[in-house]
Chain A
C-alpha cells in the first residue's frame, strides 16, 4: 500500500537548494519512504535527500507526484501536501526578503524580472558585460581528475576511511555552526546537509564497493556526477549548491590526504570579468590592461590601490560582494554594474536591453566629458589651478593627456616594483623617467620616490612584519637602511630631469630634520653625478607629501627646505582621524568636509603661500567634482587625480569664482560637523549653478518605452545626460521610492513621477510623450501616455525655484493645458508652454 498525491509545484524560482532543504527537514520526521516524481522531467527523487530533490529539476508549475510508503502514510501524505502548498511558499518568500546592502542600488528591472543578482558597493563606475573568471576557484574539476580512477583492493578499508573523513568533517562543521552567525552559519548549514546527505553517502559507498575505487576517487567521481546534474538544471539558483559541493569535496579530499588539489590561480587569456576575494595591486598590474573588463571583489576597501587603479583605468568594479567567489563560476556570463554596486548573473533579455541603454548612456556621457577635458584649468575669474593626473605607470600617460591632464601631480613609483623579483637599478629607472619626461613634452611631472610599506608591500624589499604598518616603517623612514634603493632612484630622477620638467617629491615626511637629511643626500648625489660627468638637474624642484598632520602645523618651518607641498588626502585623513582607511567599520570617520580638516588645510596652505610655496592635492579626493569649490576656496594651486575625473573637475572649475569659494570655506570652517558642511555645499551648488528649469534636452515627444520601469530609466538617463543629476542610479531609485509610496498616476493618462534628492543639481522638469501607453502600476489606474517628471534638490536655499513646480502642478489639472502639451509640434513649443505656465 502507498499513499500518493499529485500537485503543481508552487515556487516561482523552482525547486532549488533552499526549499529542498525545507522539504528534506519535513520528510525526515517520517520513518518510511517518500518518492518525488516530476512528471515533466520524468525524474525520480528521494524526498529525504536535498541533492536528490534538486536534481529532479522541478520548475514552477511542474506537475509532481509524491508517493509515501510506510506507517501512517495516509496521514503524512496529507500533512506533506498541505506543507508543500501552503507553508513552503511562505517560508521561501521570507527567505527571499533579505534586504540588499544599503549602498547598492538594485535597478527595478532586475527585481521585476526576478533575475539572479548579487550586491556589493559601487567601487568604480561603469558597466561591463562578459564572462567571469574566478581567480581563486575553490576546486577546479580538472584538478580533481588526477584523484579519480584510483583503485584499491580493500573496499571495506576505503569505506572506513571515507566514513572517518566524513564524520571528522561533520564534527568540524557542527563546531563551526555553534560559533558562527548569519551568512557564515548558513554556508556551514548547507555544507552539513551535503555531508550528511543520504544520496551522496550512498553513492560513494556504492562506487567504492562496485568499482574498487579509493575513497578519494569515489568522492571525486560522485561530486562530479552530482555537480553535473545540478548544472543541467534550469534553475540558476542551484549554482549555489554546486559551490557548496565543490567546497565540501575539497575538504573531504583534504581529509583523505589530497592537499595538492587545492587552489591554483587561473590565467587570463581573453577579456574577462575578474572575480576574487581581494586583488593585490601586483596581481592587478600583472594582467594585460585590455583583458580586464570588470572586477567583482569580496573584500577590497574603497581606497585600496587596486580599486584606485581600476577607477583610473575606467574599469567598472563592485566590491563587498559577499561570497562572490563561491557563488559565481568561471565562464559564466555576468554584468558588473559599478555605478550601482550590483552584479547580475546570466542576465535575461530585458536586463541586457536595460544595460545596453546604460552603455549607450555611458558612451554619450563620455563624449560630453571629452569636451570638458579640453577646458583650461582656470576658474571663471581667471585664477589658474593646474589640473593634473595621478599615475602609477608610464603607460597611463596617454589616457591622462586624453582626459585633459596638464601635468602629472604624482607618479607613484612603487607601483613599478610590484611583481618584480629585483629592484630596477639606476640605469633602468633613468631610461624610464627620461622617457616619461620626454613624453610629457614640457608638462610638469612630479615623481614621488618609493613609498614602500603600509598597504604596499614589495616582494623585493623584506620589511619586518609589524602590527600597524600604516604607522610604522614606510616611506622615507626606510631610506637609511635601504640607502642604495633610495640613492639609485634619486640619481635616476635627477639625471632624467635634464630632459623635461621633472620634480622630486618625498613621501611620509613628519619632521623638518628628515627633510634636511633628504636634501643633504640630494646635494651629495648631485656632486657625485658631477664628478662622474653625468648630466643632471642640480636645481630640481623638490617637495614633500603633506600627509602627516605634524607637517601641516609646521609648514612655515618646512618652507625654507622645500619648493612645494602635496596633500595626500587619504593618508592625511586616516592619520588625522586615527581611522584605518581600509576598515569598513570606521569608514564614517573618513570625513573630507570635517571643519577640523578644513581648518588644518587652510592653515597649512595660507602659511605656504606666505612663504611663496605652492600646495597641491594629489589624493583621491581631488577627483570629486562636488568638492572642487572647497579646494578652490582653500587655495590649492594644483589638483591631481585619477585622470578619469579631470573633465568634470575642470568643468566645475571653469564655472566657480575665487571669492565665492573662499566665502564657502570660511563658512564651512565655522560649522561643527561634516554633515552641516555637506548641506552647505549643496546650497552653494544651488546658488551658483542654477539653470533653466526646463530645456529641450529634457523633452522627448515620441518615447518608445514598454513599461513603467523603462520610462523611469529613460528619464534617469536623460536627466544625467543633460547635467541635471549627478548620478542617474540614485535619481532612478529616488523616483521609485516615491512611486512605492503611492504610484504617481493621477488620471487623464498622466503620471508625474517626482522626487527631492541630493543627487539633483538643479530644479528640473522633464516630459515624455509615450508612443504607446504603459501601465503605471497604480490602484485602479489608467494607462499613461504623458509623463512629466519633476526633480528638486535637497537643501533649503532653492525655494524661489521650487515654487515654480507647484505652479506647474496646478496647471496640469487643466484639460486645455494637457491638451496643448499633447499637441505641441516640437520640443521648443513644449518648453515654451511649460515656461509660460510657471512664469
Chain B
C-alpha cells in the first residue's frame, strides 16, 4: 500500500521531524511505502507532488497547526491525528489506516 503524510507543529524544529521519523519507521515495519512531507521551521521539505498524492491510498495528517497547501489533497481520504499521537503511537495510526482503507 502506498501512503502519503504531512507532519507539522508550532515551532517546527522537533515534533514535526520526530513524527515523520516514526511514521516512516513504522510503515517500513508494516511493509507499506510512505512519503512524509514536513512543514517546519525549514519550510516545506520532501514536498508531496500531485503524482505522489494521486497514487496514494490514503493521506495522514499529523499536525498541531493547520496544514499548508491543503487543497492538494482534495477528494482524498484524509486521516487526521495530533503530532503527539504520531510520535507516541505510530503503530495505532497505521493500523487504523490499514483497517479502513484495506491493504
Contact = CB atoms under 8 A, between A and B. Distances in A.
Nearest to A806: B17
B25 A746 contact: no
Contacts of A814: 21
Given A752-B14, A756-B13, A805-B13, A799 B42 contact: yes
Contacts of A61: none
A741 B64 contact: yes
Nearest to B13: A805
Interface in B36-56: 38, 40-42
Contacts of A752: 14-15, 18
6 shortest A-B CB distances, which residue pairs? A806-B17, A810-B21, A809-B17, A813-B21, A747-B88, A809-B14
A809 B18 contact: yes
Given A754-B14, A810-B21, 9 more contacts: A742-B82, A744-B14, A756-B13, A803-B42, A805-B13, A805-B41, A806-B13, A809-B14, A810-B17
Nearest to B64: A742
A799 B13 CA distance: 11
B88 A746 contact: yes
Nearest to A798: B41
Given A792-B13, A802-B13, A746 B87 contact: yes
Interface in A738-777: 738, 741-742, 744, 746-747, 752, 754-756
Interface string B70-103: 0000000000001010011000000000000000
B20 interface: yes
A812 interface: yes
Interface residues of B, number: 21
Nearest to B25: A813
Interface of A: 738, 741-742, 744, 746-747, 752, 754-756, 790, 792, 799, 802-803, 805-807, 809-810, 812-814
Contact of A746 (B10, B16, B84): B84
Contacts of A747: 87-88
B11 interface: yes
A803 B17 CA distance: 11
Contact of B18 (A755, A802, A803, A813): A813
B42 to A, nearest CB: 6
B41 A756 contact: yes
Given A741-B10, A744-B14, A755-B11, A802 B41 contact: yes
B18 A746 contact: yes
A136 B13 CA distance: 51
Nearest to B24: A810
Contacts of A803: 42
A810 B36 CA distance: 13
Interface in B2-26: 10-11, 13-18, 20-22, 25
30 contacts: A738-B11, A742-B10, A742-B82, A742-B84, A746-B18, A746-B88, A747-B87, A747-B88, A752-B15, A754-B11, A754-B13, A754-B14, A756-B11, A792-B13, A799-B42, A805-B41, A806-B14, A806-B40, A806-B42, A809-B13, A809-B15, A809-B16, A809-B17, A810-B17, A810-B20, A810-B21, A813-B18, A813-B21, A813-B87, A814-B21
A512 B25 CA distance: 77
Contacts of A809: 13-18, 21
A738 B64 CA distance: 12
Given A742-B84, A813-B21, A813-B25, A805 B64 contact: no
B38 A806 contact: yes
Nearest to A778: B84
A755 B13 CA distance: 8
B40 to A, nearest CB: 6
A805 B25 CA distance: 19
A744 B84 CA distance: 9
A813 B19 CA distance: 9
A803 B82 CA distance: 23
A810 B41 contact: no
Choose among A741, A792, A806, A813 the residue with the greatest number of B CB atoms under 10 Å from its CB: A806
Nearest to A763: B13
Contacts of B40: 806
B87 A805 contact: no
Contacts of A792: 13, 41
A744 to B, nearest CB: 7
Contacts of A805: 13-14, 41
B42 A802 contact: yes
A799 B42 CA distance: 7
Contacts of B41: 756, 792, 802, 805
A752 B19 CA distance: 13
B25 to A, nearest CB: 7
Contacts of B13: 754, 756, 790, 792, 802, 805-806, 809
A390 B57 CA distance: 71
A323 to B, nearest CB: 36
Contacts of A742: 10, 64, 82, 84
Contacts of A744: 14-15
A807 B41 CA distance: 13
Contacts of B16: 806, 809
Contacts of B14: 744, 752, 754, 790, 805-806, 809
A799 B88 CA distance: 28
Nearest to A746: B87
A694 B42 CA distance: 20
Contacts of B87: 746-747, 813
Contacts of A799: 42
B24 to A, nearest CB: 9
A742 B84 CA distance: 9
Nearest to B87: A746
A679 to B, nearest CB: 16
Contacts of A813: 18, 21-22, 25, 87
Q: Among A742, A802, A809, A814, which residue has the most Cβ atoms of chain B within 10 A? A: A809
Contacts of B64: 741-742
Contacts of B15: 744, 746, 752, 809
A813 B21 CA distance: 7
Contacts of B42: 799, 802-803, 806
Contacts of A790: 13-14
A490 B42 CA distance: 62
B100 to A, nearest CB: 24
A111 B17 CA distance: 32
B95 to A, nearest CB: 17
A810 B14 CA distance: 8
Nearest to B41: A802
Contacts of B22: 813
Contacts of A755: 11
A792 B41 CA distance: 10
B14 to A, nearest CB: 5
B38 to A, nearest CB: 7
A803 B38 CA distance: 12
Contacts of A810: 17-18, 20-21
Nearest to A813: B21
A747 B20 CA distance: 16
B14, B16, B64: residue with the most chain A Cβ atoms closer than 10 Å:
B14
A812 B64 CA distance: 19
B7 to A, nearest CB: 11
